[in-house]
Chains A and B, each alone.
Chain A
Amino acid sequence: MTQTELTAAIVVHLDTLHNLAAWLARDSADAAALVQATCRQALRMIPQQRSGTNLRVGLLTIMWGLYRQAHTPSAVGLSEIAVEQVATDKRVLFHTLRGADLDAGLRQLPEVQRAALILTDVEGCPLEDLATIFGWSKPRTQVVLSTARQLLESFLQARLTATAVSPAPEAKDSP
């Protein structure tokens, strides 16, 4: 693999890298540092690999590895988190949920589930790529995604229910 191929890959996948970094990191400075560290390591490691390597997967794998080195991702799974089942019409979510609520719900997920959902639903990574990036088997990847979606749904439903029950502040003061 040539340096030119790698440079092109970094340019093409920079938004993907930064998006994942921003969903993992605490703030924008942390995210930028994670992206830079990823690119730096890629420049050292990836040129030694054979041509034809999936560079996006390679870059994301490096990023996840670096994040894990610097942080200890939460190992909390669905079974350990109390999921409050709220009977709400799921379609309501689609119509009424604000982006900020969805972001907040995603932030409530353990990093690994959040990262897996972002990569598969936003970036369109197939299961095989996710399995490579996180070092899982394909069935395990499927389970993590399924669990993450169920957990996120319960967070979002709880959030919507709370919003609907509590009176809006404007309503008190309105004539």
Chain B
Amino acid sequence: MTCDEARERFEDLLHDRLGAAESQALRQHLSECPRCMEELDTAGLIATLIRHRASYHRAPDHLRQSILQEVRRERTLVHRLRDALHTLWTTPPVLCATTAILVLAIALPLYHRWAVPAPDPAARVVGEAARDYHRLLLNYPPHGTNPAEPTQIQQWFQQTLNFFPAIQFWGNQEIRLLRGYPTYIMERRAACLIFKMGDAISTLYIFPGADIPIPPRNRRHINGYAPYQATAQEQRVLLWRQGELAFLIVSPLTNPELDQLFLRIRNP
């Protein structure tokens, strides 16, 4: 055994952690090497001194109590969390409810994304126009300075609309034009004309509508024309497109009367 090999085993020898064979080999080396013997002697002396005379700082009781309380608090929190999770996943009713909530949370957005059809643009237009018509009736007769003369109405439209509404019917003895004003349909500017036939108030909306598909179903055939017809808020609605513009009538008139109004507007 060399001196380096012997030194590597000093600590184990000092703390009685050497096997019999190694211990014997080390003692053999020490008997022949005074320097290693001296070094081990010093190490042993210091180790003994430290072991027996160095101060030992036991944990004070208040620290022990404080740490135990902290451990208990931590354990309580961990146990509560674990118990809650355990209950969640092992109690059948709770598990069913949790699973159902998770499934719904995942499935509902997907259902809305893929299964529910997107709202029909034509239906949206019809709905908005019907709402505008009802607002108008609630405030009828309209107050303020809404012009009643076609020239004044046209001038106002020119000033406020970003398109030219191709209006060819401005009323007659039977179907009187009451007012005209700019409004909004589907977040776009629209021209609105109010007609009165008998006691019934009808409105005509004209707005840019090249992007609004007219559904092929529910068509009403009137003298070779086939506008889309619908009912919204108890009013009849006719919707059609002329070039880039969409035209829409909301009216409580009977079908023959509405056909007459349509033909006046469509083919004056």
Q: A139, B8: Cβ atoms under 8 Å?
A: yes
Say yes or no for B75: interface residue by CB 8 A criterion. yes
Which of A49-57, A65-73, A92-100, A167-175 interfaces with chain B?
A92-100
Q: A99, B53: Cβ atoms under 8 Å?
A: yes
Name the B residues within 8 Å of A126 (CB-CB).
Answer: 11-12, 15, 17
Say yes or no for A14: interface residue by CB 8 A criterion. yes
Say yes or no for B68: interface residue by CB 8 A criterion. yes
Which of B55-63, B83-91, B164-172, B190-198 interfaces with chain A?
B55-63
* CB within 8 Å for A35 and B46 given contacts A3-B78, A146-B7: no
CB distance from A75 to the nearest CB of B (A): 22
Name the A residues within 8 Å of B17 (CB-CB).
Answer: 126
Chain A residue nearest to B17 in the complex (CB): A126
CB distance from A42 to the nearest CB of B (A): 9
Say yes or no for A7: interface residue by CB 8 A criterion. yes
CB distance from A59 to the nearest CB of B (A): 12
* CB within 8 Å for A106 and B54 given contacts A97-B49, A142-B11: yes
Name the B residues within 8 Å of A152 (CB-CB).
Answer: 46, 50
Say yes or no for B110: interface residue by CB 8 A criterion. no
Chain B residue nearest to A16 in the complex (CB): B59
CB distance from A175 to the nearest CB of B (A): 34
Chain B residue nearest to A126 in the complex (CB): B17
Chain A residue nearest to B73 in the complex (CB): A43
CB distance from B213 to the nearest CB of A (A): 60
Q: Of residues 55 to 83 in B, which have CB atoms within 8 Å of A's CB atoms?
A: 55-60, 63-64, 66-68, 70-71, 74-75, 78-79
CB distance from B108 to the nearest CB of A (A): 37
Say yes or no for B48: interface residue by CB 8 A criterion. yes
Say yes or no for B257: interface residue by CB 8 A criterion. no
Say yes or no for A48: interface residue by CB 8 A criterion. no
Q: Measured between alpha carbons, how far is A139 from B11 in the docked complex, in Å?
A: 11
Contact of B67 among A10, A19, A94, A121 (CB under 8 A): A10
Q: A18, B58: Cβ atoms under 8 Å?
A: yes
Q: Measured between alpha carbons, how far is A144 from B74 in the docked complex, in Å?
A: 38
Chain B residues with a Cβ closer than 8 Å to the other chain, count: 37
Name the B residues within 8 Å of A93 (CB-CB).
Answer: 45, 49
Contact of B63 among A32, A122, A127 (CB under 8 A): A32
4 nearest A-B pairs in the assembled complex, by CB-CB distance: A22-B57, A18-B59, A121-B50, A149-B46
CB distance from B238 to the nearest CB of A (A): 72
Say yes or no for A26: interface residue by CB 8 A criterion. no
Chain A residue nearest to B49 in the complex (CB): A102
Q: A35-B67, A117-B46, A120-B11 are in contact. List 13 more A-B contacts (CB 8 A).
A: A3-B78, A3-B79, A7-B75, A17-B59, A32-B60, A36-B63, A90-B42, A142-B7, A145-B11, A146-B43, A152-B46, A153-B45, A156-B49
Name the B residues within 8 Å of A11 (CB-CB).
Answer: 64, 68
Chain A residues with a Cβ closer than 8 Å to the other chain, count: 48
Say yes or no for A77: interface residue by CB 8 A criterion. no
Q: Measured between alpha carbons, how far is A10 from B71 in the docked complex, in Å?
A: 9
Q: A102, B75: Cβ atoms under 8 Å?
A: no
CB distance from A134 to the nearest CB of B (A): 14
Say yes or no for A84: interface residue by CB 8 A criterion. no
CB distance from B2 to the nearest CB of A (A): 14
CB distance from A91 to the nearest CB of B (A): 8
Chain B residue nearest to A130 in the complex (CB): B11
Q: A19, B78: Cβ atoms under 8 Å?
A: no
Say yes or no for B51: interface residue by CB 8 A criterion. yes
Name the B residues within 8 Å of A98 (CB-CB).
Answer: 53
Say yes or no for A161: interface residue by CB 8 A criterion. no
Q: Of residues 4 to 50 in A, which have CB atoms within 8 Å of B's CB atoms?
A: 6-7, 10-11, 14-15, 17-19, 21-23, 28, 31-32, 35-36, 39-40, 43
CB<8 Å pairs between A and B, sample of 21: A7-B71, A11-B68, A14-B64, A15-B56, A18-B58, A18-B60, A36-B66, A36-B67, A39-B67, A40-B70, A90-B41, A117-B50, A120-B15, A122-B51, A126-B12, A126-B15, A142-B8, A142-B10, A142-B11, A146-B39, A150-B42
